[in-house]
Structure 1
């Protein structure tokens, strides 16, 4: 398995920490975490991750959809989307950014691990 450098974009600190720990056990490196769309773009410019794990609703009323657009257009970074709101309209809005997958919250650690293992860049 290839070791990936991953950006976590999640505004709930406990969830971000949990994902970071799980990614570490899977052999990946979390190069940065961000709670807002702006922080995500700054982290991408600085750390150049291989991919991002992206929540849809972020802190400061910023949007994971907008963050994903910036990551994709700025650096070609694709996202695994994790949210409690992954309805058909949201999924359709994300299609131009070539999603790596979708995972609904709340999720079990095993489902998260399976989603990460299934990633193909």
Structure 2
């Protein structure tokens, strides 16, 4: 991916709970990734994605202002970015994009690693 640093992916976090965002950022840094921005609203997520062109987005579906799925839909109209939805509520792929990778809170680091791998693999163009 073009924005990936030698140490990992550039990640946009879309999470309106500050403690969860900090914990996710810490885990992502520990995995070798870089958090290029954290957005707490749908509008901020769209603006941050346009500005930073991340390699991956970790998106909370339920935001205080707006929704994660609406933010992803708007972002994907302009750039294609792999993403993982995280939520404390039960989400089903039928309510989102059928290819959406969904991670239920609470989750383990291993589950996050697997979800990131699935999201990146799903978004990667097929090899000729």
- Give the TM-score of the pair, scaled to structure 1: 0.84
* Matched residue SS, 2:106: coil
Higher-helix-fraction structure: 1
Identify the residue that residue 93 of structure 1 maps to in structure 2: 95
Distance 1:104 1:83 in 2: 5
Within the alignment, does 1:83 sit opposite 2:94 as a pair?
A: no
Detail structure 1 runs of 4+ shifted over 4 Å in the superposition: none
* Matched residue SS, 2:97: helix
Give 1:31-50 correspondences, 5 Å limit: 31-50=36-55
Within the alignment, does 1:22 sit opposite 2:27 as a pair?
A: yes
Which of 63, 67, 72 lines up with 1:68 in the alignment?
Answer: 72
Distance 2:27 2:95 in 1: 28
Q: Which string of whole-angstrom CA distances, capped at 9 and with x for unpartnered residues, describes residues 62-81 of structure 1?
A: 11110110111121123101
After TM superposition, give the deviation of residue 49 of structure 1 in Å. Answer: 0.2
After TM superposition, give the deviation of residue 86 of structure 1 in Å. Answer: 3.2
- Give the TM-score of the pair, scaled to structure 2: 0.80
Within the alignment, does 1:55 sit opposite 2:60 as a pair?
A: yes
Identify the residue that residue 17 of structure 2 maps to in structure 1: 12
After TM superposition, give the deviation of residue 113 of structure 1 in Å. Answer: 3.3
- Identify unmatched segments of 5+ residues in structure 1: none
- Identify unmatched segments of 5+ residues in structure 2: 1-5, 124-128
